Chains A and B, each alone.
Chain A
């Protein structure tokens, strides 16, 4: 699976970083960085929760 962020929607709420810090990081410049674009399957539940809780609905999962 691949993590896709629509940076046109992303407003750096950092909710995703709170849910899945292995994948997402908002830095001091207030921009979101994807740390792991192809996270291991074990992180799927966390990634799905980040997708659901993203306040701007900017995250999606692309299956391989």
Chain B
């Protein structure tokens, strides 16, 4: 931006958490130029975590999930293009094309279009099959949960788990299907998946792991989920067990929303590829949030992080990157953090983890559903997970940021008791 004629115009594509964080940071850092935000949804930025919890449970109405009040939005001085999609980017012309064909020129661009839920082929047009990402998704699911008696959740990741918990709180019977041998088995050592599974069993969820979905029953409206035949090389229609359900929620992950960038020439690889400072391969273009893949030098790992805190922090970092003069750019190297509230349990995780990491439970126990577990790799502390232990967990952020050895982290835990 330093070379662009000040004050210029910054366009933010994506009007959710990362985009809002970028907009606010630009103003806080003194940027006085024009700010334009483009959002595919009709709403001003709202908060997604309550969509699987308070709003879905019926405790909150949607207005309570707005990220800011109207005065705060007005005070930012942003031109909002809501209910509009960007369809193309021309980095040479420094212009974004909107879905009505109108070009929008920029001096600086923030890409924050997030991600979109994976769907299962064959569910198009089948009523009662839901995904959960947007407020509209949430309200459609909530309306159906009011009349539902049996819900089948496909995928025991965090969205699936939170939906299962919310449905149980509403008194609905829940079956949750997971392809892996335990929940979260791709990311965490087996003990942690077992802890999550136990939590759902405690609350009456019929959790079935190691099962696949072969198809859906129902003509026009779903009546059940047909499971794959265990050990079978293919699926013979009608042979697998059917899990009856009047509502199905598919929570099998998300894919980055990069379709509009495919013709731009900007480097894509399961997201928008950034350098360590959130800059993309195109001049004056940065990316943040679920869509950005960047090398996090604290962990020596290229990552794409789909969590709330990363959207806030990376949105701010990307904004500062746009404003930075030559030689002023700083690396974005945070300790990733996420939380998930399920039933009365608070699950929190700091850092990075893989199934082969060394695990040490340093406080409480899985049986109590209250514990802190530390993860080590090559002698270094790489992650910390807590069930309902927020005070103890947070102390590890600084230790993770300081690249503390696993041994020293375990010693810290003994002292903290």
Q: Is B129 among interface residues, defined by CB-CB distance under 8 A?
A: no
**Could you say which of B49, B316, B388, B397 contacts A55, with CB atoms under 8 Å apart?**
B49
Which residue on B lies nearest to A12, using beta carbons? B390
Is A30 within 8 A of B390, CB to CB? yes
A57 to B20, CA, bound (A): 14
Instruction: Give the tally of cross-chain contacts (CB within 8 A).
Output: 46
Instruction: Report the minimal beta-carbon distance from B361 to chain A, rounded to whole angstroms.
Output: 17
A55 to B337, CA, bound (A): 10
Is B339 within 8 A of A30, CB to CB? no
Residues of A within 8 A of B67 (CB): 57
In this complex, how many residues of chain B approach chain A with their Cβ under 8 Å: the count is: 23
Which residue on B lies nearest to A28, using beta carbons? B391
Q: Is the interface of A mostly helix, strand, loop or mixed?
A: loop
Instruction: Report the minimal beta-carbon distance from A34 to chain B, rounded to whole angstroms.
Output: 15
Is B47 within 8 A of A13, CB to CB? no
Is A27 within 8 A of B391, CB to CB? yes
Is A11 within 8 A of B309, CB to CB? no
In this complex, how many residues of chain A approach chain B with their Cβ under 8 Å: the count is: 17
Is A14 within 8 A of B394, CB to CB? yes
A14 to B388, CA, bound (A): 11
Q: Is A15 among interface residues, defined by CB-CB distance under 8 A?
A: yes
Is A15 within 8 A of B391, CB to CB? no
A15 touching B394 in the complex, CB below 8 Å, given contacts A55-B49, A57-B47, A57-B67: yes
Residues of A within 8 A of B313 (CB): 53
Is B391 within 8 A of A30, CB to CB? yes
A13 to B346, CA, bound (A): 8
Is A18 within 8 A of B309, CB to CB? no
Instruction: Report the minimal beta-carbon distance from B56 to chain A, rounded to whole angstroms.
Output: 15
Is A18 within 8 A of B348, CB to CB? no
**Could you say which of A25, A26, A53, A56 contacts B312, with CB atoms under 8 Å apart?**
A53
Is A14 within 8 A of B309, CB to CB? no
Which residue on A lies nearest to B390, using beta carbons? A14
Interface centre among B309, B337, B390, B393 (most CB of A within 10 A): B390
Q: Is B31 among interface residues, defined by CB-CB distance under 8 A?
A: no
**Could you say which of B312, B316, B390, B398 contacts A13, with CB atoms under 8 Å apart?**
B390
Which residue on B lies nearest to A52, using beta carbons? B312
Q: Which 7 A-B pairs have the closest CB atoms?
A: A14-B390, A14-B394, A18-B394, A26-B391, A12-B390, A26-B390, A18-B397
Chain A residues proximal to chain B, CB less than 8 Å = 11-15, 17-18, 25-28, 30, 52-53, 55-57
Chain B residues proximal to chain A, CB less than 8 Å = 21, 24, 47, 49, 67, 308-309, 312-313, 316, 337, 339, 341, 346, 348, 388, 390-391, 393-395, 397-398
